[in-house]
Every structure is written in C-alpha cells, then in structure tokens.
Amino acid sequence: MTPVPAPSPGAASVSARGWGWRHAGRRAFAARHLDLEIRPGERVLLLGASGAGKSTVLHGLAGLLGSQDEGEQEGELLLDGVRPADARGRAGLVLQDPETQVVLARVGDEVAFAAENLAVPREQIWQRVHRALDDVGLDLPLDHPTGALSGGQKQRLALAAVLAMEPGLLLLDEPTANLDPDGVLEVRDAVVRVLDRTGATLVVVEHRVAVWADVVDRVIVLDAAGGVLADGAPGVVLVQEGTRARLADAGVWIPGRQPFVGGPVPDGGGDVLLSAQALAVARTKRGPAAVEDLAVDVRAGQALSITGPNGAGKSTAALTLGCLLRPRAGRLDALPGLAGAAGSDPFRWRSPQLVQRIGTVFQEPEHQFLTPSVAEELEFGPRRVGGTADPRRTGELAERLRLTHLLRANPFTLSGGEKRRLSVATMLATAPRILILDEPTFGQDALTWAELVTLLRELIDAGVAVVSVTHDADFIAALGGATLHVSGGAGRLVAS
Amino acid sequence: MSGDYLTPALTGATLLRANPVSKLFAAVVITLALLASIDWVSAAVVLACELVLLPLLGISVLGLARRIWPLLVAALLGAYGTALLAEKTGGVLLDVGPFLFTEGSVAAGIAVGLRGLALALPGIYILLTTDPTDLADALAQKLHLPHRFVLGALASLRLVGLLVEQWEMLGLARHARGIGSDGSPVARVRNLLGQSFGLIVQAIRRATRLATAMEARGFGGGTRTWARTSTFSALDVGVAGVGLVIASGATTAAVLAGTWNFILS
C-alpha cells in the first residue's frame, strides 16, 4: 500500500445518500440504496458481482445518466456537493474498450478535445496536452495517428484525454480488462503516476483485484441486492475470511484464491486432426503476412494455446486454423479423422461441412448472433447441417451451459457471461471436432471463468481439440496441452 | 483493409497547405460558371486550367488517371451516348445502320464529356488534398457552422473507415456459423441482407459508445475553444483568386467564341 498523499485542493469528494438508478424500460434498479462518503484524494477500488451496478455508479458520477426520460433516480448522488451533471469536467471517465473511445485522428488533437470542450483558452490547452501525455508516458509526436496505437497505448491515450480536463475525480471502468499483461501494468503504472502528481480522487472498477489491491487505500463492495456489502482498507476487506468468501461468491478475483474448477488438467492427446506446414497467415489478400512459416498440429483431445503480445497476429493465425481465412502460403491439411468424406482440403468444404468439423467462437459474441431467440440460436447450426434440429440435444446443451431459463430471450439482451456461454453453445450444437476460441476470458469474472474452464476440460476429455488465443496464464495452465508463442512474425511451440 | 478516411491521400501536395474554405470557394465559383452555360469552349478552358494546375497536387497525369479512372470511363460513355442521341445537325461523319454521327451531335457529345470531367475535378482535388480535421476546424471557425454538428460528423467519419473492417469480421463470423457465400442466389441475397442488418446493429452500438466517450469528455456544452486555429494565408488568396480567374476566363472565352449558351435563356 502506498501512503496517502495530502489531498490536493483540486481533489473532488463524493457523496451518495440513498441513491438508486433505474434505466428507462427496465423493471429492476441497476443500483439502489447506496450510502457512501468518499473524501477528496481517496483511492477506491469498487467491487461487486456482475449486475451489482458498479458501472452505473461510475456513469452517474461522470454525469452521463442524463435526465428523467433516460431513467428514474432515487435519493441523491453528489460530486463536491453538487449534481455531477452540473460539474462538467470535474470527473473524467475511462471506459473498458480501447477501440471505441478514440474520437479524433491525431494523438495531440485527441488529448486537446476535452480541454476544448471545457472552453480552456488555446495557449493553456497545449500545455495541458503536453503534461497529460507526459503523465501517462506516451512519448509520441502530436500528429501521430491514433489508429496506429497498441491497446495499452490507446488506453493511456484515453487516460491522457481525460487528464486534459484536470479532473478532481478519476473514474476507471475496467480499464485493463482487454489488455495483454504488459498493457495492464503500463496503464496501472500510468494511473499511479498521475494520482501521485495531481492528488485526484480515484474510483476504479475491476474484476482482477490483484492489479489494483496495492495502489488503492479503500475497497468498497457493492451488494447485488442494493447497498454496500463491505467497505474498508484492502488489508482488511480482502483478508477477512467472511468477506473473502462473499467476494468469491460474487465472482471477484481475489489475490491468492483460485476459482474452483472441476476435473484434472487434461494431458496426452490423440490423432492429428489438422496439420499446418510452412503456413503463412495474413488478414488480407495483398497486405503483409502476419505470421510466417508456422508448423503446428492440432490434435484430438488436446488444448493448443496461442499466446503473444497484442497485434502479433494470433487472431489471424486462429482464423486461418479455423479455415475461415485462406493461408497466404504453405499447407493446411485436414487429416482423415477430421475430414471424413469431405476431402483433405478444408477450403473446399461448404459452410455446413465446416461447422460439423471446426467451430470458431469470436471474441465479440454479438458478431455471431443470427436469430431473435436463444432457442433458435441453438437450433440454427443443426438445421444448416441436417435440415432439422433434435429438440432433445438442444435441450441438453442448454441445460449444460445453464441457458434453459433464457431460451426465449433475445441474445442481445443477455449479460456478458451469458452471451459468452451462448456463443460457445451455438458452436457445440453441431458437435465439431475442433473448437477455436479468441480471447475467451477477456473481461470475465471468476465465476464465468471457472465455468468455461470446466466445460473446456470436459470437451478435451471427450476428444475435442480446443485451440485458444489467450494472454491468460491461469487459463493456459488449467487446460494443459501445447502452447504456440507468436511474436515478431514467427511462431514457435513452447513445451508446457 | 480498413479504409483510412482521416488522412488526405496526397501528403506532398501544395494544396494541402491551403485552407479548406478557400478551396471550397474556388470549387464553387468554377462549378457555377460551368453550370451557367452548356457549351464546349467554357468546359475546355476550365479543364485545361485544371490540368495546368495539376502540379499543385504533386502527382503526374498518369497518377491522377489511376485514381479517377472510373470518372474517365463515365465521361467517355456520356460523350458517346450524347453523340449517338443528340440532334443530328451539320455534315454526316459516320452512318452505319442505326449509328449516325453528325458534326453537331459529336460536338454536343464532346461538350458533355468535357463538362463532366471539368465539374468533377475540383471536388477530386479537394478530396485528395484536405485533412478532414482541418476541414472541420475551418467549417466551424471560419464559416461558423454549429460545432456539435461539425465535430459529430468528423467523429462519425472515423467510424465509416471501421465499418469496412467490421463488415469483413461479420462475414467471417457468419461463415463460422455455417452461412457461407455458397448456396443458391436467393440464399446469397438473404445472407447479404442478414449481414447488412448485423452491420447496422454493430454500427449503432459503436456510435452509442463513442457518443458516451465524447460526452464523458465534456462534449456538448454551450461554448468551446479551439486548440488549432484555422488561418488564411497568401496561398488562400491565390487559391480563391485562381478560382475566380478560371471561372470568369471560361465565361469570357465562351462569349467571345460565340458558343455561350446561358442555361436560363
């Protein structure tokens, strides 16, 4: 734990009294019965189960919840004693997805944007831009294109963009959930540097407690039923056995506590299903190859994890192994155990033949939803293959992935964890021999994570080959098998 | 793969340094002069001037032709169609079956082709040499258009580039679910419609998130300042002046040549 610096005159205080918010069109309150006092300069980690209203609290403090037609408010939520909407620029919010926060084309303009919106005089804007970029450690020319940044750099840019407002309250909504391990530390350290200089108040929401436990001085746990479950120093809240158990039940990642996963680590492996030799993979027909000279076998009943830094071409390699992208060069052969009657060249298979052999789960589950209900999603693949879907099999699948109560729901209305389970289930519906997953554990809470690992272990035991693109060392260790490390345009197999 | 709509295509161009407003002004006066009269002299003068000014773009005639070849094809087709269908006056040049070209119809065809190109080039010059961020600055600061509208349009321009990327990703994601580009023509059309709907859903979600991120940075308030000043320089006087000279020169040449044909007379 770092010593608490003296609160700077600019640091903001937060006060919630019986506060609650219900989004228009929803029956349940997203957050309710909240009573809180946060002093200027405090550094708070906000925890709670999925759906406990953590993001709603942050949006409320950022003044983004809007007027009565956007929802219903109870009690009051105050920033420096006034409504957040009346304190424009006092709170700065950084969101989870680095890709959806970039507004402008050049780094300097991006940082200047917020200061312009607050009507800061021009000569001061560029001073603020330089200081903000300095604070987050982005040493780039001001006209550097924002599209060319890595995920970690984009998140630091988003942080700098918010710092240009000189906010008294910094709000971070799972800022590192989508980053590789280097990116996570990059962003965390930048935040600490900024707080040490400005003394601003911090409220950060994050599943992965270990990242922030050492830099905050207070942990607040929201109760999914409303109100506060626990509140205190990290050394108390995260150590007390009672709260630890409740946090674990809520899906929070607690340092020193592995989520419970059923079954042993799979070992061994069967026949080769798919074999790549001197394979070069590329996103486009003409652009540069992402990875060259790959040699790897995908085996039945074995996991293959593809690792490496952001942007190294892991996803491109996985999409090629999934027979969705054509290889730039080299060979990718389906062996008889996989090909059956369809022939050894997977790129000659028709779509229904492909889904019976290889299932690919994309990082964004929504990209693959095709129908208006969960039940139809599960029946879609079998119908494509055989014309009809066996209701008993679909029922079993829904049962196994805890989707039975959601069969009539629209896939787009599900929670993040449910969407992930559904996207895996739709691929399993056609019983493929190979299952490919792109970053399956990004931003998942500990419960969803454990469920997913248990399921994948069962699949591996049943002879399915599971190929995952992942940064998650715990996940790789839990699945065993082989690891392909991709970086600098080359891939090599690492012994596990 | 992703279309980059946020940086101008030609980084070495002299016109890049001119203010977008002066470029727009020159383009508008030239267009007005061309629209005022249907004749080949004014069109030829404008087109000749535009080609003489090509060095301002920093590329060769061939380089320009490679970028705008569909326009050249369209101009040729327009000229051919007009020559074939226009009123047949003057001496007969060619008469083979249904194909009858006369001096009058060929002149009309040439006029249409030249005008098409002459009208299109100013827009192309602006497109190739203007940074959208500079354009937004100029529109808001010099023409005093509402900043919410201008910056909203600028931010959405970036999303247009991302749509190309999202379309390809959606195609792969759907292929993985068993919907491929194989199947009957009807199935393909249905697939295309489905993918388009998916793209719209994704685009709306993306735009909503971006709007939240912008609002979180104080966007949408009443007053705002500008970090970049949109300025006029001697180059802009030149650009606007050359635009006026081309427009008036073309009109004068057409009147003197006796081909001036005012559209409203």
Chain A (77-96) residues lying within 8 Å, Cβ to Cβ, of chain B: 88-89, 92-93, 95
Q: Is the pLDDT of residue A3 over 50?
A: no
Q: What is the pLDDT of residue A402?
A: 84
Average pLDDT of the segment spanning A38-67: 89
Asked whether residue B21 carries a pLDDT value surpassing 90, the answer given is yes
Report, as an integer, the average pLDDT of A279-292: 87
Q: Measure Cα distances from B117 to A273, A360, B31, B255 in Å.
A: 58, 49, 11, 21
Instruction: Write down the mean pLDDT value for chain B.
Output: 87
This prediction has a pTM of 0.82
Chain A hits for B205, Cβ within 8 Å? 366
State the pLDDT at residue B265.
Answer: 65
- Cβ separation A118–B182 shorter than 8 A: no
What is residue B46's predicted lDDT score, i.e. its pLDDT? 94
Q: Say if residue A345 is in the same domain as residue A244.
A: no
Position B6 confidence tier, pLDDT thresholds 50, 70, 90:
low
Q: Name the minimum distance, in Å, from the CA of B187 to any CA of chain A.
A: 12
Same domain, A337 and A477: yes
Chain B residues with CB inside 8 Å of A105's CB?
A: 6-7, 131-133, 158
- Whether A407 has a pLDDT exceeding 50, the answer reads yes
Q: Which two tokens stand for residue A181?
A: 């391990």
- For an interface test with A, give the residue of B137, B150, B156, B177 to mutate (most A CBs within 10 A): B177
Assess whether A220 and A308 both reside in one domain: no
Taking residues A55-72, what's their average pLDDT?
86
Report the distance separating Cα B189 and Cα B184, nearest Å.
9
Give A-chain residues touching B131 at CB under 8 angstroms: 105
Residue B161, Cα to own-chain centre: how many angstroms? 17
Structural domain total, chain A: 2
What is the Cα A355 distance to its own chain's centre?
26
Average pLDDT over residues A359-373: 91
**Side chain identity at B56, as an amino acid letter?**
L
A63: left (phi over 0), alpha (psi -120 to 50) or beta: left
Residue A97 in any domain: the answer is yes
Residue A191 in this model has a pLDDT that exceeds 90: yes
Answer with the one of A249, A264, A297 that is the final residue of a domain.
Answer: A249
Q: What are phi and psi of B21, to 5 degrees?
A: -65, -40
**pLDDT score at B181:** 65
The 10s digit of each residue's pLDDT in A165-180 is: 999 999 999 898 878 8
SS3 content of chain B, % helix, strand, coil (to 5): 70, 5, 25
Residue A266 lies in a domain: no
Q: How far is it between the farthest Cα atoms of chain B? A: 72
Search chain B and give the residue with CA nearest A105.
Answer: B6
Strand partners, B101: B94
Report whether pLDDT(B16) > 90. Answer: no
**A17/B contact by beta carbon, under 8 A:** no
Q: Quick one: pLDDT at residue B3?
A: 40
List CB contacts (< 8 A) between A102 and chain B: 158
pLDDT per residue over A302-319, tens digit each? 999 999 887 788 999 999
Which of A109, A116, A376 best probes binding to B when mutated, by most B CB atoms within 10 angstroms? A116
A388 alpha carbon, distance to own chain's centre: 35
What is the reported pLDDT for A295? Answer: 93
Distances (CA, A) of B229 to A94, A113, B142: 28, 14, 10
Mark whether A77 and A135 lie in a shared domain: yes
Inside any domain, residue A5: no
Q: What is residue A6's predicted lDDT score, i.e. its pLDDT? A: 45
Contact status, residue A105 vs residue A145, Cβ threshold 8 Å: yes
Give the nearest partner residue to B176 out of A101, A126, A324, using CB atoms: A324
Domain C-terminal end among A218, A249, A280: A249
Higher pLDDT, A289 or B222: A289
Quickly state the pLDDT bin for B31 (edges 50, 70, 90): very high
Q: Do A99 and A243 fall into the same domain?
A: yes
CATH code for the domain of A392: 3.40.50.300
Q: Which residue has the higher pLDDT, A298 or A259?
A: A298
User: How far apart (Å, rounded) are the C-alpha atoms in residues A273 and A298?
Assistant: 6
Residue of A nearest to B170 (CA): A367
Helix (H) or strand (E) holding A23: strand A14-23
Same domain? A228 vs A312: no
A35-39, A66-70, A250-254, range with greatest mean pLDDT:
A35-39
Supply the pLDDT for residue B8. Answer: 65
Asked whether residue A4 carries a pLDDT value surpassing 50, the answer given is no
Q: What is the mean pLDDT of residues B159-180?
A: 87
With residue A47 as reference, give the H or E element that holds it: strand A43-48
Query: Sign (positive/negative) of CA torsion A111, A116, A122, A128?
Result: negative
Say if residue A389's pLDDT is above 60.
yes
CB contact B176 to A (< 8 Å): yes
* Residue A97 near chain B (CB below 8 Å): yes
Q: Is the pLDDT of residue A419 over 70?
A: yes
- A327 plus A186 within the same structural domain: no
Q: Is the pLDDT of residue B5 over 60?
A: no
Instruction: State phi, psi for A298 to the nearest 5 degrees.
Output: -100, 120
- Give the residue numbers spanning the domain of A305: 272-494
Q: Are residues A354 and A241 in the same domain?
A: no
Question: Is some CB atom of chain A closer than 8 A to the CB atom of B265?
Answer: no
Report chain A's mean pLDDT, rounded to a whole number: 88
B214 CB neighbours in chain A (<8 A) are 103, 113
Average pLDDT over residues B94-115: 85
- What's the helix, strand, coil split of chain A in %, to 5? 40, 25, 40
Average pLDDT rounded to a whole number, residues A440-460: 87
Could you tell me if A332 and A462 lie in one domain?
yes
Give B208 to chain A, closest Cα distance, Å: 9
- Answer yes or no: do A283 and A218 share one domain: no
* Shared domain check, A203 and A103: yes
A204/A296 same-domain check: no
Domain-embedded: residue A277:
yes
| B7 contacts A102? CB cut-off 8 A | no
- Is pLDDT of A5 > 60? no
pLDDT number for residue A31? 87
Domain boundary among A189, A217, A249: A249
